[in-house]
């Protein structure tokens, strides 16, 4: 990599090209750079998850899933705090109303989650199952039965 700083979009294009060329480790590095520039970049997280799944590196895939969910939750909380500061009078009323209607959980996060978060949570369950289940023994080829 040269000393020239690349934009997030340039890094995404580069990472995808590296993937297509079979340079998986380079693609992983590029996607991680994208995430360091923009922690809420869902596409980069998704590609990393796919690459780690292909490499059967389930612990790394699980770590990326957790990182993605945490980044999205942090982004939501930050947006919520910004809105509260700008609209302090209506914020407490809105918060009380949302809690009473069951729209927020104990952490103040919405009960309803974006489809991306739901997808990542399902993927996390799948990865956790894969990590617990030992690799299945390959099936033996069926033997031909002789007719009597």
DSSP characters for 69-106? Answer: HHHHHHHHHHHHHHHHHHTHHHHHHHHHHHHHTT-B-T
Strand partners, 110: 104
Tens of pLDDT, residue by residue over 95-144, are: 788 888 888 888 777 777 788 999 999 999 999 999 998 766 434 555 55
Quick: pLDDT tens for 37-89.
999 999 999 999 999 999 999 999 999 999 999 999 898 888 888 888 888 87
The pTM assigned to this predicted structure is: 0.75
């Amino acid at each position: 990599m040269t000393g020239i700083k690349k934009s997030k979009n340039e890094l995404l294009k580069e990472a995808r090209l590296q993937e297509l060329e079979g340079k998986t480790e380079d693609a992983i590095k590029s996607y991680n750079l994208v995430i360091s520039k923009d922690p809420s970049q869902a596409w980069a997280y998704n590609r990393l998850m796919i690459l780690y799944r292909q490499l059967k590196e389930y612990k790394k895939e699980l770590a990326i899933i957790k990182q993605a969910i945490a980044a999205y939750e942090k982004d939501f909380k930050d947006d919520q705090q910004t809105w509260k500061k700008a609209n302090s009078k209506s914020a407490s009323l809105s918060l009380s109303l949302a809690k009473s209607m069951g729209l927020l959980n104990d952490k103040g996060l919405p009960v309803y989650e974006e489809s991306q978060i739901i997808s990542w949570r399902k993927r996390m369950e799948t990865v956790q199952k894969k990590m617990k289940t030992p690799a299945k023994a390959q099936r033996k080829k069926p033997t031909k039965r002789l007719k009597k």
